[in-house]
Amino acid sequence: MVKYHIIESGYFRGDGGVMFGPVPKKYWSAKYEVDDKNMCVMSLRCLFIDTGERRVLVDAGLGNKHNSRLKFYQPFDQKDIAEEIRSIGYAPEEVTDVILTHLHFDHCGASTVLNEQGVAVPTFPNATYRISLAQWQNYRNPSLFEKSSFFEDNIEPVYDAGQLQFVLEDMQLDEHIRLELYDGHSPGQIVVLFDTEEANYAFPGDVVPTSLNLALNWLSAYDNSVVVAMDEKKRFMDKAKEEQRTLIFCHDAYTVSAKV
């Protein structure tokens, strides 16, 4: 029996004009709460899936290694993701797989943790970490547009420990979990599709970060190609609708999930 747990790893504040890109404030501010400085509360939602054979963490939130570098985003209510996993009945050593949708700092910060010597090491010592090869190559040779979104100590210690595996194409992780690759926001972003006895689900990451982004033309200024992002979102949404999937949103502070 497949079980899943939504992990609320914390929140940050993002500029609404950036989060909702080409959409005029008149429209997005009517649907999403915003303060007088144009800042919106955004979730750092992660996912844990237990298939019986695999215990899978999807994304790892912001972590706490870079709080001083991230003051603009005003992170708050941050949770230790290893402790959150313990709270649902699992030890961090039991995690078999960590799937990172992409390597922007708000999705992989707790992939590593500082040890007693202040050195970053993998948070989950027995897990295989998976990212797409396209995302790894993009991280290693970033454009000026994306460069500031990548922090080396979030992923290099995983690579050095021999725990990193690359996803080359869409693949079936096991009979319950499928990984698919989508471009637009960042090259080779992984979308996680999984099925339970009750329903079919998807964790689309920043392909569809909030419920407002279900609309095709609601994009983000963080998308490195809005044209590709819209096309890829449509490709994903068409599939999600056909498969009657419920989407779990990574950044929506108010709506956790919605069925397409």
Would you state the CATH architecture of domain 3-259? 4-Layer Sandwich (3.60)
Burial level of 30, CB count in 10 A (0-12/13-18/19+)?
A: exposed
Mean pLDDT of 188-193: 98
- How many CA atoms within 13 Å lie on the side-chain side of 131? 27
Query: For the chain, how many residues are written?
Result: 260
The per-residue pLDDT for range 45-58, each reduced to its tens digit, is 999 999 999 999 99
Give the pLDDT confidence of 196-234 residue by residue, as tens digits.
999 999 999 999 999 999 999 999 999 999 999 999 999
**Tens-digit pLDDT profile for residues 16-29:** 999 999 999 999 99
What does the buried/exposed string (b/e) look like for 221-234 if buried means 16 or more CB atoms within 10 Å of the residue's CB? Answer: ebbbbbeebbebbe
**Phi/psi of residue 91, each to 5°?**
-90, 145
Domain chopping of the chain, boundaries: 3-259
The rounded mean pLDDT for the chain is 97
Beta bridge partners of 219: none
Q: How far is CA 151 from the centre of its chain?
A: 15
Q: Which of 224, 68, 55, 225 is nearest to 149 (CA)?
A: 224
Q: Where are the strands (E) in the chain, listed by range?
A: 3-15, 39-50, 55-58, 97-99, 112-114, 120-122, 128-132, 164-167, 171-172, 177-182, 189-195, 200-203, 245-248, 257-259
pLDDT band at 113 (very low <50, low <70, confident <90, very high): very high
